[in-house]
Amino acid sequence: MLSLWSRRSHFTLNLTLFNRFPLHPDINEIVGDFTSLTLLEVDFRSRLPFSERAQALQKQLFEDLDRRQCSGIRVLRELARRRGHGRQAAMPVVFTSTLGLTQAGESMDAIRQLGEIVYGISQTPQVWLDHQVFEEQGALVFYWDVVESLFPAKLVDEMFATYCHWLEQLATDETVWQQVRREHLLPMAQQQQRARVNATAVPVSEALLHGLFADQLPERTQQPAVITPDRCLTYGELAQLAQQLAHQLRQQGAMPNKLVAVVLEKGWRQVVAVMGVLMSGAAYVPIDPQLPTQRQQQLLEQSQAHLAIADAALGSALGCFSSRPVLVLDEVIAQLRENLPPLTWVQQPEDLAYVIYTSGSTGLPKGVAISHRGAVNTICDINERFGVGVGDRVLALSELNFDLSVYDIFGILAAGGTVVIPAGDDRRRDPAHWVQLMSTNQVTLWNSVPAFMQMLVEYLSRQPEKVPSSLRLILLSGDWLPMELPELIKALWSKAEVVSLGGATEASIWSILYRIEKVDPNWKSIPYGKPMKNQQFHVLSELLEPAPVWGPGQLYIGEWDWQQATGWMLRRQGLALLLIQ
């Protein structure tokens, strides 16, 4: 139980030891307390059944008892001296057993003659949990004395109930000794609750990202697809420009699972570029044009991009550093041909859609490869869950190399809505500019990191007369969500729905969400929420075993293994780890 609820599976127990050394022939005639402490190493980092764990623990104890002249108190003092801080050396869980000591059992019988024990407690400084066990009239008697204020409410009760359950199983079922492992110990109610929460499987769409956009074309040809301060593209115009680029890319050898780098400033050209890349059959890798040229070149080399799309100035610079072709988007658009034959889609849903490079917190930035199927699954879930449709417009603030941009572009266009992009100059981070665009274009959907929304809220709190009334849905993700922010948002847009989302780039934009209706003042953070469709969430120990409620562990995302279709791919946020068959 301790290893299940603890952060680590390798720890130390404090054991009381009746330590009467044979120092004198009459030592047994002396009345007094000969109890000392021994420290027992518990190492449950390997996957073993209960019986083997017990045998290993017993072997360790017998080896320790051969050195009982050095008491646990002496060891703790030495640890404190070496570490320079006494609290670091504390071993706060004590186990006291008199099993096998007949005299102790008889003494309990004598105590019973005085009356029934209705309450008992042991209190020892620096002890959090004291587990005592003895035998009385052939029965096992055990109890925990606990400093309850150190633990979350009901945690100790649940631990103790689970402990009692498995002791009973060991006493009544011989198979438990060999078959039960630590991962089986999770309380059944918790197992059932997690199974319900993670029952997210639904039919998976076979669509492609650009296919979702193409499905909207017959009815939306003349409706705005992309609005920027310098140009507005209808669905028909966007399709035409993207097709023109796609034909050019095919001539350059674009094909499934080949990458095309997009090195463009934020604006309508980015949308044309990524749509054209996907229509050609390739996948895109966004590279920030603000990066130093040498860094851009490193990403081009590392991603093995087949070619790059840039503007004239960037294309010239990239051409000096790279042997790969560089297409200048404006030159391709200038050669616009009418009545180009429609391209047939050559990808499969499991083929690459895009590769986004993360910040590189573990060293060099790593490219995260996402399939059409994974991204489409997330987009379809969001659009269906929140009723995103033709009348919706999103203010696209995220850079192309941040995966929130995937929803800004493909999510909204899949629903027949409109992408509103701010100016590409210094006004891109100007809340006054955002408000102007939101009001002029009737923006209904906000999708950003919390910091941008905080900037907007602070600006509008000083000028409430400028609050855009059209906003109905606010999606916040990518960073810590301040506890006070949802209430500040509600003060401006009382009817807007505020949603916290999370996940990892590796799991296709988002994997989990929580609708924030009211913030409990007792919360320490906004709840992470529940997994989205065809995704799962788990808190696992260092052995990748389920951690109980209140048990610390690492957060893992499970997504269906699209290629094998045999189970769930489990990912620690940022790293794929294993396939659960």
**pLDDT tens digits, 300-313:** 999 999 999 998 87
293 and 386 co-located in one domain:
yes
Query: Could you tell me if residue 112 is inside a domain?
Result: yes
Residue 568 domain boundaries: 534-581
Q: What is the pLDDT of residue 104?
A: 47
Position 578 confidence tier, pLDDT thresholds 50, 70, 90: very low
Residue 529 lies in a domain: yes
Q: Is residue 261 part of a domain?
A: yes
**Pair 268, 178 in one domain:** no
Q: For residue 407, tell me if it sits in a domain.
A: yes
Whether residue 213 sits in one domain with residue 180: no
Total domain count, the chain: 3
Instruction: Give, as one character, the DSSP assignment of residue 223.
Output: S
- 4 in Cβ contact with 19 (< 8 Å): no
Q: How many CA within 13 A on the CB side of residue 19?
A: 16
Of 150, 185, 220, which closes a domain?
185
Q: Tens digit of pLDDT for each residue in 509-535? A: 999 999 999 999 989 999 999 999 999
In a domain, 201, yes or no: no
Any idea what the CATH number is for the domain that residue 71 is in?
3.30.559.30
**Do 371 and 451 belong together in one domain?**
yes
If asked whether residues 380 and 518 sit together in one domain, one would say yes
105 with 6, same domain: the answer is yes
- Please give the Cα distance from 221 to 131 (Å, whole number): 73
358 pLDDT more than 90: no
Are residues 437 and 561 both part of a single domain? no
Rounded-to-5 percentages of helix, strand, coil across the chain: 40, 20, 40
- What confidence tens digit (pLDDT) does each residue in 81-91 have? 887 765 555 78
Question: Is there a domain that residue 200 lies in?
Answer: no
Sign (positive/negative) of CA torsion 404, 476, 479, 452?
positive
Span 6-16, pLDDT tens digits:
988 899 999 98
**Could you tell me which residues come within 8 angstroms of residue 15 by beta carbon, excluding any fewer than 6 positions away?**
37, 38, 39, 40, 61, 72, 94, 95, 96
In this structure, the answer to whether residues 160 and 261 fall within a common structural domain is no
In a domain, 198, yes or no: no
Q: What is the tally of helices (H) and strands (E) in the chain?
A: 19, 24
144-153 mean pLDDT:
92
Distance CA 543, CA 541 (A): 5
Q: Are residues 528 and 538 in the same domain?
A: no
Residues 405, 506, single domain; the answer is: yes
Q: Residue 297 maps to which CATH number? A: 3.40.50.12780
Angle of CA points 350, 383, 429, to nearest 5°: 95
**8 Å CB contact between 557 and 570:** yes
At residue 482 the predicted structure's pLDDT band, cuts being 50, 70 and 90, is very high
Position 568 scores a pLDDT of: 55
Residue 93 reports pLDDT greater than 90: yes
- Domain end point (choices 135, 152, 185): 185
User: Is there a domain that residue 445 lies in?
Assistant: yes
Does one domain contain both 439 and 579?
Answer: no
527: tokens are 């709840």
Report pLDDT digits (tens) over 317-331: 666 556 678 999 999
Structure tokens at 171: 């006493």
Q: Are residues 174 and 235 in the same domain?
A: no
**What pTM did the predictor assign?**
0.87
Reference 411, options 218, 209, 146, 189; nearest CA is 209
